[in-house]
């Protein structure tokens, strides 16, 4: 039976005091304090053994866990982790299991908890990521549906200069459109290489990239000046999810071949490295058969785009029911008598705002939906960059 709604420890002390004073029998005391005889014997036994501290509450955790880690296995796991500090629980378990000695090993989650308790795991710092594009990506069923672009990892040429290869390929035919060595990752350099390809091959429908500069940012819509330029040309920007290179797997597979053919070892100078890139581009497109193409060469499948590169980059236009705002050099717009920061990537550009059924204003740059503005003038970013045709 429960104790009265007072401090349980105080009630126990009064019960023991009354019992010591022999003021009543145990049965009568149990009725007064509304407890069972079993409970009375328990607390009297604790008082005889431990005195006053025996009347305090104790933790309810079990004294023994049948599934606890064996001490020898625990020592083995910790020793393996210290010998291989970069290995995770699954690698360590597999490594131990291959040994000659047999052990009853725990689950990987149990090993991970052990490493955390022992301070052998450093928490990772959360990184800001550029906003990926809404899935699914554009269909890649014909040449120029999707072009893939990326900066291949840098390496040093023989002269000591760093080389950052910018690569551009057609997703359908695997045709390598460009492979230019740059001395640094640069929005201007990337735009120059893309413009050269656009003038030669025409415009694609979409451009797929990772989230790094100059193809993405942590700002609104993941916009950069390069992305703004693509949108004005009518090219849909697509960004893969962070840590998911397989979403641009065709391009990444080409990179592996490029590295093996041109950078192992690097050439003696920047000029000779570019010659190696040019030779690789010719061989990859015109001589090397591709299994995914039925052993045809990319050059036999690819055809240029029917959409030519315009002589002048067009300005964006919006329907008459849109409210148009010019973005200042500070990246701000004036909205409802207040200054709202949008993006420095849009400075000098016009954005369109249209009221939705919910009373929010949807913000567009060209056909790209960027964010919403509520009635208090607060900007709410979209979780993804949407591409919607503007009527």
Average pLDDT for residues 79-99, to the nearest whole number?
76
Does residue 343 contact residue 221 with C-beta atoms inside 8 Å? yes
pLDDT at 84 exceeding the cut of 50? yes
Which is higher by pLDDT, 131 or 313? 313
Q: What integer pLDDT is reported at residue 178 of this predicted model?
A: 94
pLDDT at 210 exceeding the cut of 80? yes
Average pLDDT for residues 117-131, to the nearest whole number?
69
Q: What is the pLDDT of residues 238-260, one digit of tens each?
A: 888 766 666 677 788 888 888 88
Region for 331 from its dihedrals, namely left if φ exceeds 0, alpha if ψ lies in -120 to 50, beta otherwise = left
pLDDT at 99 exceeding the cut of 80? no
Contacts of 43 (CB under 8 A, 6+ apart): 12, 15, 16, 54, 55
Q: What is the pLDDT of residues 268-281, one digit of tens each?
A: 999 999 999 999 99
Q: What integer pLDDT is reported at residue 309 of this predicted model?
A: 94
**Range in 23-37, 199-213, 332-346 the model is least confident about:** 23-37
176 strand-pairing partners: 169
- Residue 323 pLDDT grade (very low, low, confident, very high; cuts 50, 70, 90): very high
Q: What is the model's pTM?
A: 0.63
**Range in 110-119, 125-134, 249-258, 374-383 the model is least confident about:** 125-134
pLDDT at 199 exceeding the cut of 90? yes
Q: What integer pLDDT is reported at residue 136 of this predicted model?
A: 45
Q: What integer pLDDT is reported at residue 197 of this predicted model?
A: 95
């Amino acid at each position: 039976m429960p104790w009265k709604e007072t401090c349980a420890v105080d009630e126990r002390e009064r019960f023991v005091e009354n019992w010591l004073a022999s003021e009543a029998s145990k049965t009568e005391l149990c009725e007064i304090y509304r407890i069972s005889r079993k409970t009375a014997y328990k607390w009297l036994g604790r008082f005889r053994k431990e005195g006053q501290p025996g009347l305090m509450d104790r933790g309810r955790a079990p004294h023994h866990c049948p599934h606890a880690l064996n001490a020898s296995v625990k020592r083995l796991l910790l020793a393996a982790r210290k010998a291989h500090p970069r290995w995770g629980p699954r690698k360590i378990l597999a490594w131990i299991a291959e040994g000659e000695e047999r052990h009853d090993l725990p689950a990987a989650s149990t090993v991970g908890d052990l490493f955390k308790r022992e301070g052998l795991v450093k928490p990772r710092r959360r990184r800001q990521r550029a906003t990926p594009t809404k899935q699914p990506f554009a269909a890649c069923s014909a040449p120029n549906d999707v072009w893939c672009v990326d900066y291949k990892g840098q390496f040093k040429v023989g002269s000591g200069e760093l080389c950052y290869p910018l690569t551009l390929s057609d997703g359908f035919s695997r045709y390598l459109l460009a492979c230019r060595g740059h001395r640094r990752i640069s929005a201007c350099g990337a735009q120059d290489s893309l413009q050269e390809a656009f003038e030669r091959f025409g415009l694609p429908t979409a451009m797929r990239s990772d989230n790094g500069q100059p193809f993405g940012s942590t700002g609104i819509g993941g916009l950069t000046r390069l992305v703004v330029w693509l949108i004005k040309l009518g090219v849909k920007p697509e960004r893969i999810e962070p840590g998911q290179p397989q979403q641009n797997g065709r391009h990444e597979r080409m990179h592996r071949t490029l590295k093996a053919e041109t950078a192992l070892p690097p050439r003696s100078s920047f000029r000779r490295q570019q010659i190696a890139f040019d030779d690789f581009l010719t061989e990859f497109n015109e001589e090397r058969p591709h299994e995914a193409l039925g052993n045809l060469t990319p050059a036999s499948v690819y055809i240029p785009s029917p959409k030519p590169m315009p002589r002048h980059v067009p300005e964006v236009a919006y329907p008459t029911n849109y409210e148009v705002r010019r973005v200042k050099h500070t990246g701000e717009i004036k909205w409802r008598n207040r200054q709202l920061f949008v993006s420095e990537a849009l400075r000098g550009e016009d954005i369109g705002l249209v009221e939705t059924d919910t009373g929010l204003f949807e913000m567009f740059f060209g056909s790209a939906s960027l964010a919403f503005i509520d009635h208090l003038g607060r900007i709410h970013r979209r979780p993804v960059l949407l591409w919607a045709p503007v009527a």
